[in-house]
Amino acid sequence: MCVACGCGSDAVTLSGPDAAQASQGAHSHSHESVPHDGAHHHGHAHGHSHTHSDAHAHSHDPGEPAQPQHSHAPGLDARRMVEIEQNILAKNDGFAAQNRVRLAADGIFALNLLAGPGAGKTTLLVETLKALAGRVPAAVIEGDQQTANDAERIRAVGFPAVQINTGKGCHLDAHMVGHAMDRLPLPAGGVLFIENVGNLVCPAAFDLGEDKRITLLSVTEGEDKPLKYPDIFQGADLVLLTKADLLPHLDVDFDAIAGNVARINPTARLITVSARSGVGFAEWLAWLEGARRTRLEELARAAEQRAQALRGVVHTAAE
């Protein structure tokens, strides 16, 4: 049980394609679960910047390390909290590294989709998969506390999906994703979409082994969400402003939303989309294909460099 945010991994379940139906290359990883007996470390080191504002800190007795406001845990002092957070982070990052190696070996481009509940993640995925059908292989990992509703929506359009139900858990972690990958026919050279649990806080802290992070924000959520929940935007490679078809009916300032996103993350691209009307969808799909192509090129160059190094070793040995 996570003493900071109240989540736990004791009731996690997976549903979807039977493991026997998954890809033949079985993934070997430790089945020791990530501990949830301590606070989540809201920051990680997989290439995304997750700097935190001073608003997350508060005063402690002299000599005590600072801790986030939300991490009060009865019976644990600040030093113990930091130790637990570091342990959780290190273990999760180990599983994420395993996931990343496995995905790279098959040339799979992995995306972690983050947003609050109701931002339109699943609807966006359904329409995206329809556009990719017959052109780009894909699979989906769905994260929710309960129900398999979202995975069923994905399967209905002809793509494999595994549902992770986290129980009381408020986010996915890399260990859960590794097990879900075992149950999927992973699309070599294709795309793995990971739809995280609807939550604007804790999912930002956990590396899943993804290549890119996408944060969705619906226009119905208002202008100030990037300022209230900065971490989920700071780590994003792309921000999708969803439900754009509703803008004419809302008292919301689009320029203010875009400005607040840029204030928190000046390097992230912002694309305005509507899965219902199709607004912005061509731009979103072009970004997706471009990012996937770039990743495949990076993997090809790395493979060639390894091959050249190996040839050099063999040549030297032969001499």
Q: Which residues contact 171 (CB under 8 A, 6 or more apart)?
A: 7, 40, 143, 196, 197, 199, 202, 203, 205, 206
- pLDDT attached to residue 65: 40
Q: What does the pLDDT read at residue 19?
A: 54
Q: What is the pLDDT of residue 57?
A: 36
Q: What is the pLDDT of residue 9?
A: 57
Question: Can you name the residues that pair with 114 across neighbouring β-strands?
Answer: 215
pLDDT at 295: 96
Q: Report pLDDT digits (tens) over 154-179.
A: 999 999 999 999 999 999 999 999 99
Q: Please, are residues 166 and 12 in contact by the beta-carbon 8 Å criterion?
A: yes
What's the pLDDT score for residue 311? 82
Q: So where are the chain's domains?
A: 13-21+74-293
CATH 1.10.1840.10 corresponds to the domain 13-21+74-293: no
Q: Which residues of the chain have pLDDT under 70?
A: 1-10, 19-75, 319
Q: Who's near 110: CB < 8 A, 6+ residues apart?
A: 99, 100, 103, 191, 192, 194, 208, 209, 210, 211, 212
pTM comes to 0.80
Q: Report the pLDDT value the prediction gives residue 234, as an integer from 0 to 100.
A: 97
pLDDT at position 316: 75
